[in-house]
Structure 1
Amino acid sequence: MTATFQKHILIFKRPSGTSRGILNSKETYFIILKTEESFGVGECGLLRGLSIDDRPDYDAELEGVCENIALGVSEEDLYEALTEFPSIQFGVETAFKSLHSENPFELFPSEFTRGEAAIPINGLVWMGDKGFMKEQISEKLKQGFTCIKMKIGAIDFKTEIELLKSIRKEFSASEVELRVDSNGAFSPKEALEKLKVLSDLNLHSIEQPIKQGQWQEMARLCEETPLPIALDEELIGVFSEEEKKNLLETIKPQFIILKPSLIGGFRGSDSWINLAEKHNTGWWITSALESNVGLNAIAQYTYTKNSKLPQGLGTGSLYTNNIESPLQVLNGTLNYNPKKEWIFSFDYFHRS
């Protein structure tokens, strides 16, 4: 078996704002496995500035992984050795699952991959000026989304509240579910007051109101909040089962959000889900701006978990040079069209 990796720069169709800055492009890596009979591909969805494995030795680690695969090191041994590189763990386990599947892009055969069922998803509204955010909200509602997630924390809070109020004037909570994501933008001192203001708008939840790593402050917020809190960045870099259990028991969040590229792929997600359910903590799964290769793997895995909540999997149309795939968003759901072909070639990657 041969194993290689390829870097690819994904280009956003339009700049996308978060509280950490404006995104114009996003790099990602593919692990390609080949035998005489089959082919497998996995995506290492690194997010610069957020992934715990955003390190100078990332490329060197990928080279070592490919050398070890060619030498016959097992997937299990590789996965265990890559604890500090969760995005590479995800790439490795996806590449092997792809290699051993009848169809390299159908990793979890189900009603979803047969085109018989869809996954409800949220429509994502990026940060920007008031006009841009209003335009996105209108667009998502026209596209049939009944769950909208709005990133907040970049413009002034009063304007963000006005935007949320404008949706609530038109649509009740039973018609449109609203989620907000502050990406840790609030300070611990102001967070509770802001949560009280947001709770008046009948929101579903807020993601990561304060920066990760402040467990006691976050625990206090989760205890006193009038609005359910979902941990997101807080899960990054929490590797062992004991640490995960400690986090859930200390903070007692209402929800956790799982990004397989940031928490060790399917195994990492399974670990968090099992613990969350033991602690009566809700959860949903979100992509982390992967290409359609990674998004496809996450979506198929997500469907097998039977969650009834809208998932965060609507990021496939963000890029000008994504891989063409059978994934499509229709009426607020993610669908898989088995009649549509994948286009996966490195010549295609370099188109912009």
Structure 2
Amino acid sequence: MLKAKYIPYTLHFRQPAVTSRDILTRRDTYYLKIWHDEAPDCFGVGECALFRGLGDDDKPDYEKRLADLCDNINQSHSIDNIEWPEYTSICFGLETALNDLQNGAKRIIYRSGWSQGLDEIPINGLIWMGDARTMLSRIDEKLNAGFRCLKLKIGGINFEEELDLLGYIRSKYPPEQLELRLDANGSFTPDNALSRLERLSRYGIHSIEQPIKPRQYDAMRRLCNESPIAIALDEELIGLHATNDKTEMLDSIRPRYIILKPSLCGGFRSADKWIELADERNIGWWATSALESNIGLNAIAQWVSTFDTTMPQGLGTGALYTDNITSPIVQERDIIRYDHKNGTWRLPEDISQP
């Protein structure tokens, strides 16, 4: 019979992570462990990466839903009998744990050249919000490290100062040498968004994520039609699980890109559906982790590696924490790779012990 349990875990940021919504110093997450009772040392692990304040599953009964899932698994005789949860981050963790178990319980979630250590995944360098001096220092650090694509979170300081930062970057690196992506996290309004996008476009911007808050379909459609910068939807995807809801949003807004965060948009099966619908509409996509630990980051990277895409992905968050899970994931310059020969997984005792 299958057995399961969940383990709470707290991650601590090396430095406060600032967005237009919040200042983050810690991240509470949950690991889901699944095994067969006759072989307790062989287990799969997934991360139920609840994102408080953003995910649509941030509800008081979250841990009860996890406990109910474990009870259901403990009473199941096979994987086919498991009742799939409604909460998106729990689906993400369950998919990861089951794939891990079925692939030999070696943290191999999706088999690909990347998981064999043969391929690399290009990533963007993420610049968190801060005061102008702090952001400038972070920008220099990423540029000196060899990044060819930067993503800047904007909307947290004075807009004129943000324009100055972009001007500084472009004075050193023209668009053909450095791709710039922006993430506004919904900090613009329908009234000021277009004028701001026009001013930002002078700096050769590749794209901007979620310029205004989600569920403003008419306003977002106008922006997508009129903006001189390609718009990518991020938070707009959260909470849309039925295929009809997904198609209605894509057909209403018609964005240039969508950003896929599997732990927030329904798990991997749901993300696969988003890609299918986007491809049918000639809408581009890339994936971004959502502050998961290396357990979740590994799963997303292995999933991304099964697609034929060369776009830089947003998967470089593993070094944010002082107490992340040790893994074979290695970041070098602007790529991540899986060092399956020399790297190792070191799981917390609460997970590794039978």
Deviations 1:200-220 (A, max 9, x none): 111100000000111111011
Residue 21 of structure 1, CA deviation:
1.5
Number of the residue aligned with 1:111 = 113
Residue 331 of structure 1, CA deviation:
1.4
- SS in structure 2 of the partner of residue 212 of structure 1: coil
Task: Name the CA distance, whole Å, in 2 between partners of 1:76 and 1:175.
Answer: 50
Change (3 A) 1:227 1:77: farther
Report the residue type matching 2:189 in the other structure.
S
Number of the residue aligned with 1:147 = 149
Instruction: Find 2:175's aligned residue among 173, 176, 181.
Output: 173
Residue 267 of structure 1, CA deviation:
0.1
CA contact 1:122–1:311 (8 Å) conserved in 2: yes
Residue 264 of structure 1, CA deviation:
1.4
For structure 1, the residue ranges without an aligned partner over 5 or more in a row are none
Task: Name the CA distance, whole Å, in 1 between partners of 2:190 and 2:349.
Answer: 46
Number of the residue aligned with 1:246 = 248
Task: Give the TM-score, by structure 1 length.
Answer: 0.96
- SS in structure 2 of the partner of residue 179 of structure 1: strand
Does residue 268 of the first structure (1) align with residue 270 of the second (2)? yes
For structure 2, the residue ranges without an aligned partner over 5 or more in a row are none
Instruction: Find 2:347's aligned residue among 324, 339, 344.
Output: 344
Task: Give the TM-score, by structure 2 length.
Answer: 0.95
- SS in structure 1 of the partner of residue 46 of structure 2: strand
Task: Name the CA distance, whole Å, in 1 between partners of 2:148 and 2:101.
Answer: 37
Report the residue type matching 1:153 in the other structure.
G
Report the residue type matching 1:60 in the other structure.
K
Between the two proteins, what is the percent identity of the paired residues? 47
- SS in structure 2 of the partner of residue 12 of structure 1: strand
- SS in structure 1 of the partner of residue 191 of structure 2: helix
Residue 348 of structure 1, CA deviation:
9.4
CA contact 1:7–1:30 (8 Å) conserved in 2: yes
Q: Where does structure 1 differ by over 3 angstroms across 4 or more consecutive aligned residues? A: 73-79, 346-349
CA contact 1:41–1:104 (8 Å) conserved in 2: no
Task: Name the CA distance, whole Å, in 1 between partners of 2:241 and 2:119.
Answer: 33
Change (3 A) 1:78 1:241: farther
Residue 341 of structure 1, CA deviation:
0.8
Number of the residue aligned with 2:294 = 292
Number of the residue aligned with 1:82 = 85
Residue 172 of structure 1, CA deviation:
0.9
Instruction: Find 1:319's aligned residue among 303, 318, 321.
Output: 321
Number of the residue aligned with 2:214 = 212
Residue 117 of structure 1, CA deviation:
1.1
- SS in structure 2 of the partner of residue 221 of structure 1: helix
Does residue 54 of the first structure (1) align with residue 55 of the second (2)? no
Report the residue type matching 1:46 in the other structure.
L
Task: Name the CA distance, whole Å, in 1 between partners of 2:78 and 2:65.
Answer: 16
Tell me how large the CA RMSD over aligned residues is: 1.4
Instruction: Find 1:138's aligned residue among 133, 137, 140.
Output: 140
- SS in structure 2 of the partner of residue 204 of structure 1: strand
Residue 82 of structure 1, CA deviation:
2.1
CA contact 1:232–1:256 (8 Å) conserved in 2: yes
Task: Name the CA distance, whole Å, in 2 between partners of 1:202 and 1:72.
Answer: 55
Task: Name the CA distance, whole Å, in 2 between partners of 1:229 and 1:65.
Answer: 37
Number of the residue aligned with 2:73 = 69
Deviations 1:291-350 (A, max 9, x none): 00000000000010121110000000000000000111111001111121110123699x
- SS in structure 2 of the partner of residue 60 of structure 1: helix
Residue 104 of structure 1, CA deviation:
2.6
Residue 78 of structure 1, CA deviation:
4.6
Number of the residue aligned with 2:127 = 125
Deviations 1:99-128 (A, max 9, x none): 111243112222212222100000000000
Task: Name the CA distance, whole Å, in 2 between partners of 1:232 and 1:224.
Answer: 19
Instruction: Find 1:185's aligned residue among 177, 184, 187.
Output: 187
Task: Name the CA distance, whole Å, in 1 between partners of 2:185 and 2:165.
Answer: 18
Count of residues in Structure 1 that have an aligned counterpart in Structure 2: 347
Task: Name the CA distance, whole Å, in 2 between partners of 1:278 and 1:180.
Answer: 26
Number of the residue aligned with 2:307 = 305
